[in-house]
Structure 1
Amino acid sequence: MQQLISKYMLYKKSFKKSFLALFFGVLNIILLSHSFAAETQPKAVWYRYYDQGVANISSSITPAHIRHGYEALDINMQVIRRAHPYNAEKDLQQAGARAQQAQRYEQNARLKRAYSNSTVATNKKNEHLASIKKQISTQQARLKLLQNDRIILKRQEIEHFRKGTTVPIELKQAIQYNSENINQTKNNITNLQNSYRKTQTFYDDIIHRLQSLE
């Protein structure tokens, strides 16, 4: 029995050593493969640009490289990548477009914060238009009353003319005041109608932009 136990313990130690040896062997292979892959990836050592056909090489990128465009070379002077020349005019044109795009992004962000979505904006639009419509109706009703008052006042004035009597100063002032109120009310209606159209266009643009973001 003692011999069996001794053999078992020897087998266990032998198996443990074999397993550890296999494990570390596999680990070494993995590490070596990663190291080999990293070493095989080409690294830029030199940077070359051409100025009127003349090659200029340096170990770093200078403004001249950027201006003319350059090639990145490995240790064997093989091209591993190319960079196009910097075009200041093109970049300036694109800068304007980028600024407009950034401004539009900011505007869209503000719209999202203010209205969340097109449904909320549509409800706001309807509320504002309904309010302006109500004001227009009020002004139109006021205009109608003023015009009716004018008819009465003018009849009184004509009656004085017919009788050949002097038109009272109070009547003249009432006619003048009525005329001024009519003109002011008409202006109010025109301004409200313009405001209605502007509000409609304003919200239509917002709704369209929000819908494009949804």
Structure 2
Amino acid sequence: MTGSLKCDFRISHFTTLARNYICALFLFIFSSTTFATTEQPKAAWYRYYDKNGVSNLSTSVTPDHIRYGYEALDRNMQVIKRNKAYNAKVDIQQSSSRESAARQREQDMKLKRAYGSTKIAATKRDQILASLKKQLNYQQDQLQQLQQDKIAFKRQEMEYHRKGETLPPQLKNNLDNNAKNIESVKRTVESLRNAYHKTEADYADIINRLKNLE
């Protein structure tokens, strides 16, 4: 009875070992097959066609391959990749685009460091616009006063002409200085208006760019 139990145990143990071995062998075969399936073929040859349509084959890529465009082939001469011919014009255009994009990113990062957020940029904009508006109002008041002075000086001038008298040197100076001051203030007013509108436009762009970074 005891011998029979030992025999059964040995058979059971052998069966378990066999089953484990078969499973391990199956996994090994499956893994090897999967690896072979997913492994990418390597290029062994490189082929290009020149301007006459003649095929040229080599084991390395030459300047002519790049100029005409070429195919990468495996050891069985099967095409695994195609590369377009080099186009200097397109390359220059793409290079310019990349440089422009890089400059744009650099400028955006500078804006981010300078302002931090759209809220801070909007506050700064409002401060500058308020200052420009204050200066503009002051210059417009100055212009209005100068124009009133001009009316007074012109009346004096007309009175002297009516009487047939010569204009006093001081009145002449007043008229000349008044005209010069009016032109100067007008230029200042125009400059401040341009600065106001430019600040609005600049900060609109800054805030929009900061929004894209947030």
Structure 1 and Structure 2 fold alike (TM over 0.5): yes
AA aligned to 2:135 is Q
8 Å Cα contact 1:48/1:72 also seen in 2: yes
Match of 1:47 in 2: 46
8 Å Cα contact 2:69/2:86 also seen in 1: yes
Match of 1:142 in 2: 142
CA-based RMSD: 4.1
AA aligned to 1:195 is A
Over 3 Å counting, the alpha-carbon distance change for 1:159 and 1:109 in structure 2 is: same
Report matched runs for 1:118-137 at 5 Å: 118-137=118-137
Match of 1:62 in 2: 62
| Residue 213 of structure 1, CA deviation | 3.3
AA aligned to 1:75 is R
Cα displacement string for residues 63-111 of structure 1 (whole angstroms, at most 9, x for unaligned residues) = 1111222222222222222222222232233233333323322222222
Match of 1:167 in 2: 168
8 Å Cα contact 1:136/1:192 also seen in 2: yes
Q: Report the Cα distance in structure 2 between the residues aligned to 1:130 and 1:172, rounded to whole angstroms.
A: 39
Report matched runs for 1:11-30 at 5 Å: none
**Mean alpha-carbon deviation: is it higher for 147-156 or for 74-83?**
147-156
AA aligned to 1:203 is Y
Match of 1:73 in 2: 73
What is the SS of the residue equivalent to 1:75? coil
TM-score normalised to the size of structure 2? 0.70
Q: Report the Cα distance in structure 2 between the residues aligned to 1:99 and 1:80, rounded to whole angstroms.
A: 32
Over 3 Å counting, the alpha-carbon distance change for 1:60 and 1:148 in structure 2 is: same
AA aligned to 1:42 is P
AA aligned to 1:46 is W
Name structure 2 gaps, 5 residues minimum.
Answer: 1-20
Over 3 Å counting, the alpha-carbon distance change for 1:38 and 1:183 in structure 2 is: closer
Q: Is residue 2:68 matched to residue 1:94? A: no
| Residue 31 of structure 1, CA deviation | 9.1
Over 3 Å counting, the alpha-carbon distance change for 1:189 and 1:53 in structure 2 is: closer
Over 3 Å counting, the alpha-carbon distance change for 1:105 and 1:178 in structure 2 is: same
Q: Report the Cα distance in structure 1 between the residues aligned to 2:164 and 2:56, rounded to whole angstroms.
A: 110
Q: Report the Cα distance in structure 1 between the residues aligned to 2:70 and 2:165, rounded to whole angstroms.
A: 103
Aligned-residue sequence identity (percent) comes to 48
8 Å Cα contact 1:157/1:167 also seen in 2: no
Over 3 Å counting, the alpha-carbon distance change for 1:128 and 1:46 in structure 2 is: same
8 Å Cα contact 1:122/1:207 also seen in 2: yes
**Mean alpha-carbon deviation: is it higher for 122-131 or for 52-61?**
52-61
**Alignment coverage as a number of residue pairs:** 211
| Residue 192 of structure 1, CA deviation | 1.1
AA aligned to 1:53 is G
